[in-house]
Structure 1
Amino acid sequence: MPRVTVIGAGFAALTAVRKLRAADASLTIDLIAPKPEFVFYPGTIWVPTGLRQPEDLVVPLEPFFKRMNVNYRQASAQGMGEAGRVVSTDKGDVRNDGLIIACGGRFIRKLPGIEHSLLPCGGVDVVTQIRDRLRALEGGTLAFGFAGNPKEPSAMRGGPVFEFLFGIDTWLRQQGKRDKFKLVFFTPAEKPGQRLGPKAVEGIMREMAKRNIETHLGHKMKAFEANKVITEGGEFAADMILFMPGMTGNQWFDNTELPRSEGGMIKADQFCQVEGWDKVYVAGDSGSFPGPDWLPKQAHMADLQAEAAVANLMDNFSGKAASHTFKAELVCIVDSFSSGMLVARTPSKNLVLPSFVGFHWAKRAFEWAYLRKYR
C-alpha cells in the first residue's frame, strides 16, 4: 500500500490524518513534528483572563496516533529531495509515495525592537506571560495591534487580536479596574478587519468606540521600545504591547526547490497541489492558494484545504487527476469573554450578527467538540 508523509501537528495536519485513515485503513502514515502535541490556538484568547489554563489547550497526541495507526517521527523537517519523495529531517530521511505539507507558517519578526512585544499566537508560554504581566499591572496603557505581509495579502491573522482586546477590556471591567487602564488599538490598515467584510469593520469600530478604546490607524510600523510603539504617524507609550505581525513560509522551505509565492509561501493550485509537483500537497498556513483577496488563514480554512488535499492524493493513487477543490469560506466568532460577534463570508455572501452571549457559548462548545476528536 502507498506510504504518505504528513508534516505538522496542527489543524491541517491532524485533519489530513483523520481523512487519510478514513479513506484507507491499510495506508501507511508517517507524521513528522517536533512535539507529539496539538495546541488549540483559538482558545488561547481566554488564558490572560483566566477562563482557560494553558494545560487546557495542549493535547498530547500519542493516544490519537495510536488510534489512527500513525508512525510518529519526532523530528523537524529540514529539506526535501527527489521531487518530494524524500523529506529530510534532523533525525534522518523519511521516504513517501505521497506528501502533505501542513506545518504552518512563520511570523515575520523583523521590526526593530519587536522583542519588546508579545505575540498573541506565540503559543501557551507567551499567553501565560500576557496573563502574568496583566495581573502585575495596577494601571497603564495596553497596546494591541497587527500587521500583514505586503507580498502575501492572505498572510494576516488579525482576528485573534480583536479577541484579546475585547476580552481583556471586558475582564478589566469585571475586575473594576478598567478606569485605570488606557487601551489602544493600532494597525497600518486604515480600516482594520477588512478581510471579515465591510459590515464587520463597521461593527468592530463601533465596538471600540463603545468601549472607549483608542485607535491609531493607517500608519506604517517603524519600531517598538520597551514602553513605546513607534509608527510613521507618531508614537505612544505602552506598558504592555501585544502585536501580531504578518506571516511568511517556514525557513526550511529555503532548503528545497518548492515553488514559492512572492510572500514566501508554497504555491498551490485550486486543488491544494504544489504547482508542478506530483503527489505533493499543501494545506493551511504553509500555502499560498488561489482565491478571493480575503481568503483567510484560519483553522476552518486549513481543515477544508486538508480535506481537499487528501481526496486528491487518494485519487492520484488510483490513477486519477486531482479534481477536488476547497470552499473559500471564512467563519469565525469574534469573542469578547462574555459574548461574541458571528462573522461568515463566502464569495457571494457576508453575514455579520451582532454581539450575543450565545455566540460565546457556541465558541466554547465548538472547542470541546473539536478537541474531543484528539483527546
Structure 2
Amino acid sequence: MRDMKRVAVVGSGFGALSTIRELRKRDGDVEITMIAPRAELIYLPSLIWIPTGLRKPEDLRVDLSRFLLANRVKHVAARVTGLESGGRLVRIDNGDSMENDGLVIASGGRFIKRLPGIEHTIALCEGIDAAERIHVRLNTMQGGTLAFGFGPNPHEPQAVRGGPVFELLFGIDAYLRQQGRRNQFTLVFFNGSEQPGARLGERAVKKLLDAMHRREIKTYLGHKPVRFEPGKVVTEREEIDADLILFMPGMTGPEWAENSGLTLSPGGMIKADQHTLVEGTERVYVVGDSGSFPGPDWMPKQAHMADLQAAAAAQNLLNDFAGKPASATFKTELICIVDMLGKGVLVYRSPTRTLVTPPSRLLHAAKRLFEKQYLSRYRNPKPLPQRAH
C-alpha cells in the first residue's frame, strides 16, 4: 500500500511557489509535482520598471531548477487542459493525465479581451514581452499622446489590475521628465469609474487623482471604453486621440476551468471557501488570481494575498491527509507600494483600517529591496526547515 501522498501544484508563480514552500516546511515526505510550461518565475511586480529601463528582462526571470531540487519537487513541463475524477486526474497538453491525492491550482488568471480593437493596446502584465514593447515604443517616439487605463470584470469586483497601471503612468511621467522630454508628450488616464482604483480606498484614490492633476495628466473618468481604434480610445462619451494605448483589461479564470467540472463564480473564477477549498470538491484548493474567495469586494489580486492563501491551502491539505478538519483561513489585507520611479506611496488596507503615506524615496528603495530579498529565496535556495503537521 502506498503511504506517500502526492500533491500536484499547477503554476510556477507566486501562489504556486509559496504553496510548495509551505507544504515542504510542514511535511518532508509529501511528494510534490509542479505542473507548468517552464521551471521559471517571472517577477511581475517589477514589470513596471522595464519600460523606463530600471530593469532588464533577465533581472526578472528566475530559473527555478535549484529551488525545485533543494525542495525535492518534480517538474512536469506542460500546460493543464482540464480535470477528471473530481480533480484527482489532471489532463495536460501532451494527452496524458496525472494522478494526485491533493491538488492546488495556482495557475493565475487571464485577461478578458472582448473589447473591439483591443489588439491596438498593450497590457503590461501580460509579461516581459509586453513590457519590452512599451520600452521600445517609448524610446522611439519623438512625442505624442500616451493613454493609460484599466477595465473591470463586471461580474468579479476583485478581478482588476489597476495598481500596475498607476505605477506605469507615474513612472513614465517621471522618466520623461528625467529625459527632459515631458513637454513633448501628453499623458491621459481614462477609466469607466469616477473613483478608479476604489479597492485601494477613498483616501488613496483622492491622492492618486491629485497627483495626476499636479503632473498635468489629463483624466477622462466615468465613461467606459467601448472600443479601440488605431490611434484612438472610444468611450461612451468621447474619443481620445492616442499614439500609444496602455490598457489593462479585467481578469477571469483560466480557460481550461470552463469545462473542468469545478464550481465557477459569475466572473469565471474558480470558487473557493474561506479555507481556499474549491466548492464541491475534496482536496482541490485554489490560491491567487484564478480563485474567487469570500470576503470584501476590495480583496486584492496581488502576490501578498496569494502568499497568504497558499499558507492556508497547504495547511488544510495536510490536515485532510491526516484526517483532521480544515482549520486554516487567510486574512484579507492589501499592502502595496505605488511606485513613482523615484518615490513611492505605501497603501495599506484591512477590514478595520486604511493607511496612505506621502510619497517617499525610502519607499521606492524599500520596493527594490523587497524584490531582491523575495527573489533570493528562489535564486539561492536553501532546504526549508520542516515541522510536524
Aligned counterpart in structure 2 of residue 307 of structure 1, from 311, 323, 326: 311
Please give the secondary structure, in 2, of the residue aligned with 1:48.
Answer: coil
Match of 1:298 among 302, 310, 316: 302
Q: What residue is the counterpart of 2:320 in the other structure?
A: 316
Provide Cα deviations, 1:96-115, integer angstroms capped at 9, x if missing partner.
00000000001001111100
**Do the aligned residues in 1 keep the contact of 2:258 with 2:268 (CA within 8 Å)?**
no
Indicate the residue corresponding to 2:35 in structure 1: 32
2-structure distance, mates of 1:257, 1:328: 28
Q: Distance in 2 between matches of 1:295 and 1:209?
A: 27
Q: Distance in 1 between matches of 2:196 and 2:259?
A: 35
Mapped partners of 2:206, 2:192: distance in 1: 17
How far apart, CA to CA, are the structure 2 residues paired with 1:202 and 1:33?
40
The reply on whether 1:214 has 2:224 as its aligned counterpart is: no
> Of the candidates 70, 87, 91, which is equivalent to residue 88 of structure 1?
91
1:366 matched residue in structure 2: 370
Q: Is the deviation greater in 100-109 or in 248-257?
A: 248-257
Where do 5+ consecutive residues of structure 2 fail to align? 380-389
In structure 2, the residue corresponding to 1:296 is in which secondary structure? coil
CA displacement at 1:371 relative to structure 2: 0.4
Q: Report the counterpart of residue 51 of structure 1 in structure 2.
A: 54
Alignment partner of 1:230 out of 211, 231, 234:
234
Equivalent in the alignment of 2:358: 354
Q: List structure 1 runs of 4+ shifted beyond 6 angstroms.
A: none
2-structure distance, mates of 1:326, 1:250: 23
Shift of the alpha carbon at 1:2? 0.6
2:187 to 183, 189, 194: 183
Is 1:16 the equivalent of 2:19?
A: yes
TM-aligned CA deviation for residue 283 of structure 1: 0.1
Q: Does 1:100 align with 2:100?
A: no
Q: Secondary structure in 2 aligned to 1:354?
A: coil
Contact 1:88 1:94 in 2 (8 A): yes
User: Shift of residue 25 of structure 1?
Assistant: 1.1
Q: What SS is found at the alignment partner of 1:374?
A: helix
Correspondence list, 1:24-173, <5 A = 24-91=27-94, 92-173=96-177
Contact 2:153–2:252, Cα closer than 8 Å, also in 1? yes
Tell me if the contact between 1:169 and 1:178 (Cα under 8 Å) persists in the aligned partners: yes
Give identity over the alignment, percent: 56
Query: Contact between 1:78 and 1:255, CA under 8 Å: does it hold in 2?
Result: no
For 2:330 and 2:252, how far apart are their aligned partners in 1?
Answer: 21
Match of residue 338 from structure 1? 342
Say whether the 8 Å CA contact 1:272–1:305 is kept in structure 2.
Answer: yes
Task: Give the partner amino acid of 1:89.
Answer: I
Instruction: Please list, as runs of the form range in 1=range in 2, the aligned pairs for 1:259-270 lying within 5 A after superposition.
Output: 259-270=263-274
What is the TM-score normalised by the length of structure 2? 0.96
Conservation of the 8 A alpha-carbon contact between 1:76 and 1:90: yes
1:245 equivalenced with 2:244 (yes/no): no
Structure 2 residue identity aligned to 1:42: P
**Secondary structure in 1 matching 2:359:** strand
How far off is 1:139 after superposition?
Answer: 0.4
State the TM-score, normalizing by the size of structure 1: 0.99
Question: Deviation of residue 255 (structure 1)?
Answer: 2.3
1:354 is displaced (CA, Å) by: 1.1
Residues paired across the two proteins, number: 375
